Amino acid sequence: MKRHFDDYTRLARGLFGVSSLWLGPRDLLYVRGSGVLLAYAEQYLRFELDRIQSASVVRTRTGMVLNLLYGSLALVFGGLGGVLLWQAGGQAGGARVFLQILAGTSAVVSLLGLALLAVNWALGPTCLFQLQTATRIERLRPLRRLRPARRVLAQLSPLLLAAQENRNQ
Amino acid sequence: MCALPLFLSARGAEETVFCSGCRRDVAVVAWPALERSPARVPLPQAVLAGEAACFSCADKAATGVCEGCGCFTCPACEAEWFGEKLCLTCLHARREVNADPRFSHRLLLHDNIALLLLLLPLLVIPVYGVFFSFLASPFALFLVIRHRRAPRGLPPRGPWRLLLAGTLAVLLMLGVAGGIGTAIYALARLDDVGPIPEPGMIEEFEGGFDDVPDESGEGGGPEVPDASDLPSSSPEAGELKEEAP
């Protein structure tokens, strides 16, 4: 996906690029995609910079829960693979091959869990980012991680302040 | 979050407050717009004699002109969109009829739908999903051809999804059609070869195909003894004689 189009610059994008947030000269464009891997539809929500009242960020426990889930997946299947491999040592013929195949499959699942754990760990803690205007409170899905959410907030804050002070004058 | 009101002191600076509803720390930035009262639209006034009337509401006085079609509008029939003052008819035309990307608010992504039609069955049912992908491939190809020039979202996206979906659909259709054609051809060849020989028949040819009699009748095969050549005492001769007409 491109980082710029017309006067818009991409601020953040969600998982697989389904949703994204763009900063324009007058407004903030939130592209809310519907779908899992690929968006089958997109909805465009615009927030004029001089009408955004507040933004809030709350740290959530989703990242921790995911870490626990992926960690247990890696641990359980890793242990299972080890036990199966150990059992295969005492067997002979077809049973040995069967147990070795099972151990290999468990190892693959365990490695997958480890990889997901590493990615989730690297992405950092999760959060909830909400934008408030006079008429709505919108949760921004592309900002689900605390680090990008704080970065975007720090980037937006002076711009919004400048836009709203200009309007007051 | 819980929607409980939070009390903030600063504007334009990040502040961390404890929300008693969520029982969590919330980082909030509030801007001056929070204190500004929402803009009030003046109520339309009744039209007086000699005054211009609103195009849509004939009894209301016009206060503006639509920048799209030039008709007179009252405050209730006027909308501002990105600095343009438009009547509601023009706004509707730009958003829904002309699908101006600046005014669009929702868009179906046909390239992604075509791709999902082909890939989703393969992801859900790893091997047999090919059959469902094949069933979906004409629809995917139709979508690709029908919407090849349709806008692909407000943030521009390349045509690779559309090309990939089209190529995949054509390949799937050709591949499965080729597979079915090959199967039919193989079956037809099987009919030409004739019935599959039974084990007893195979044993008769154990001596090799050289034993099969040729067109002149010479050579080949173990010779069948003539009934007259057999001694009359042998049981085989008796059986043969009985069978002879």
Please write down the HEC assignment for all residues of B99-160: CCCCCCCEEECHHHHHHHHHHHHHHHCCCCHHHHHHHHHHHHHHHHHHCCCCCCCCCCCCCH
Closest CA to B53 of B35, B68, B65, B41: B65
Report chain B residues whose CB lies below 8 A from the CB of A158. Answer: 12
What pLDDT sits at residue A106? 93
Using the beta-carbon criterion (under 8 Å), do B33 and A41 form an inter-chain contact? no
Using the beta-carbon criterion (under 8 Å), do B14 and A157 form an inter-chain contact? yes
How far apart are alpha carbons A75 and A73 in whole angstroms?
Answer: 6
Nearest C-alpha in B relative to A167: B33
How far apart are alpha carbons A153 and A28 in whole angstroms?
Answer: 12
| Under-50 pLDDT residues of chain B | 234, 236-238, 240-241, 244-245
Task: Provide the token pair at B237.
Answer: 């001769």
A75-96, pLDDT tens digit by residue? Answer: 999 999 999 989 888 888 888 8
Q: Residue B3's CB: how many other CB atoms inside 10 A?
A: 8
What pLDDT sits at residue B244? 47
Residue A94 phi, psi (nearest 5): -65, -40
Q: Give domain limits for chain A.
A: 4-57+127-138+164-168, 62-123
How far apart are alpha carbons B52 and B48 in whole angstroms?
Answer: 8
Closest CA to A115 of A71, A65, A64, A63: A71
Q: What is the pTM of this model?
A: 0.72
Task: Give the DSSP H or E segment for A73.
Answer: helix A62-89
Mean pLDDT score, A89-115: 90
Report the sign of the C-alpha dihedral through residues B73, B77, B80, B81, in that order.
Answer: negative
Beta strands in A39-166 (DSSP E): 41-48, 54-59, 127-132, 137-139
Instruction: Measure Cα distances from A103 to A95, A115, B77 in Å.
Output: 12, 18, 71
Q: Please, which residues 53-82 of chain A have a Cβ atom closer than 8 Å to chain B?
A: 53-59
How far apart are alpha carbons B117 and A40 in whole angstroms?
Answer: 10
Region of residue B244 (phi > 0: left; psi between -120 and 50: alpha; otherwise: beta): beta
How far apart are alpha carbons A102 and A93 in whole angstroms?
Answer: 15
A27-57, pLDDT tens digit by residue? Answer: 899 999 998 888 899 999 989 888 899 999 9
How far apart are alpha carbons B33 and A55 in whole angstroms?
Answer: 12
Judged by a CB distance cut-off of 8 A, whether residue B39 touches chain A is no
Judged by a CB distance cut-off of 8 A, whether residue B184 touches chain A is no
pLDDT > 90: percent of chain A: 54
What pLDDT sits at residue A1? 67
Judged by a CB distance cut-off of 8 A, whether residue B25 touches chain A is yes
